[in-house]
Chain A
Amino acid sequence: MRNLIRIVLEGAFSNFKRIFFAKDRVTDMELRNAILNGEVVPDPKVAEKACIGCGGCANVCPTGAIEMKKLNSSEWLAVGWAKTEIPELNSLKCVNCYHCHDFCPVYALFGEPATIHPNDVGELEVNVNDLIEEPIKISEDKINYISQYLSDKTVLKNKKSK
């Protein structure tokens, strides 16, 4: 009998906590508030700072969803190379084939997270000026395959120094 009363009281107490103090709640309250206030914006698809502006993603995109848009002021990256444009991804045309992600030289040549991603590029901390000086460590035929889509081949200048 005492056990029974204990079970009833414990159940009542845990239900009290659930109802009045929202214990065990799994709903994402941050997301709920953001949705009700209309603050949800699409995730960023392009990391504008880490991008090297080679135009490979726009050339390789099978649906033409990526357009290169001109920067207001071009940025010096390395000798003989300035970043003048960055890609812009139109999600309504994108089929998420990840070609842009896989062809991005920052990912394909240097092994860092790609600066374009069809879903969410995330936060990148890549120093582009240092990255370009690093030697490339992938096979020759793969480099040739990637380089046919690049509009600026300066990124391949260190390929012999491996």
Chain B
Amino acid sequence: MGIKSFSRKRAIHIMLVYTGGCNGCDIEIVNAVLSPKYDIEQYNVFLTWNPREADILVVTGPVTRFNEDPLIKIYESIPDPKLVVAAGACAVMGGVYKNIHGDIPSEEIMGPVDNVIPVDAKIPGCAVRPKDILSGVVASLPVLLDK
């Protein structure tokens, strides 16, 4: 085991990107990461704001047209190996925003996230359950470490 994988195993960093939507999933994810009850830091997973030190990109919300370029830039600036997790109904399949103008096609929603960047894991729910996030992230750690 090299120094890189040794140290990565002890500090997985997730980065949360908000791309439109109602912020419910962001609140839920940040609560799952930081709150004492669920406490994701006990599994050596930490929250970061810097894409260059992130390992897992967590995307919430349908990707709006305004947010598409920043999301691609963030995705490209994360060093390999990286995982992308789409969290919440909006990120997974557009949610309530996909048909925001009814039958009229909308140019504002570029999502779901699948259309913009490759997604490794999808967490359904509106808002996502903390239990699902935790078990999803912890289950994806071996995938990330073996990459």
A interface, CB within 8 angstroms of B: 26-28, 31-32, 34-36, 38, 40, 42-43, 63, 91-97, 118-119
Contact digits for B112-138, partner A, Cβ 8 Å, 1 yes 0 no: 000000000010111001011011001
Considering the complex, give the chain A residue whose CB is closest to the CB of B134.
A35
Of the candidate stretches B3-11, B12-20, B33-41, B46-54, the one touching chain A is B33-41
Does B139 reach chain A (CB closer than 8 Å)? yes
Considering the complex, give the chain A residue whose CB is closest to the CB of B127.
A96
Is B124 a contact of A91 with CB atoms below 8 Å? Answer: yes
Q: How far is the CB of A27 from chain B (nearest CB, A)?
A: 5
Is A95 a contact of B42 with CB atoms below 8 Å? Answer: no
A96 to B125, CA, bound (A): 7
Chain B residues 70-113 with CB under 8 Å of chain A are 89, 92-93, 95-96
Question: Tally of A-B residue pairs with Cβ under 8 A?
Answer: 51
A91 to B126, CA, bound (A): 10
Q: Which residues of B contact A93 (CB under 8 A)?
A: 93
A135 to B89, CA, bound (A): 38
Is A95 a contact of B138 with CB atoms below 8 Å? Answer: no
Q: Which residues of A contact B39 (CB under 8 A)?
A: 27
Considering the complex, give the chain B residue whose CB is closest to the CB of A96.
B126
A154 to B31, CA, bound (A): 46
Q: Which residues of B contact A96 (CB under 8 A)?
A: 89, 125-126
Q: Which residues of B contact A97 (CB under 8 A)?
A: 96
Considering the complex, give the chain B residue whose CB is closest to the CB of A39.
B135
Q: How far is the CB of A102 from chain B (nearest CB, A)?
A: 15
Residue of A31, A34, A43 contacting most chain B CB atoms (<10 Å): A31
Is B96 a contact of A36 with CB atoms below 8 Å? Answer: no
Q: How far is the CB of B54 from chain A (nearest CB, A)?
A: 22
Is B124 a contact of A40 with CB atoms below 8 Å? Answer: no
Is B126 a contact of A40 with CB atoms below 8 Å? Answer: no
A63 to B112, CA, bound (A): 14
Is A92 a contact of B134 with CB atoms below 8 Å? Answer: no
A36 to B92, CA, bound (A): 25
Is B95 a contact of A95 with CB atoms below 8 Å? Answer: yes
Q: How far is the CB of A41 from chain B (nearest CB, A)?
A: 9
Beyond A31-B131, A31-B134, 5 additional pairs, beta carbon < 8 A? A28-B38, A36-B43, A36-B138, A95-B126, A118-B126
A40 to B134, CA, bound (A): 10
Considering the complex, give the chain B residue whose CB is closest to the CB of A118.
B126
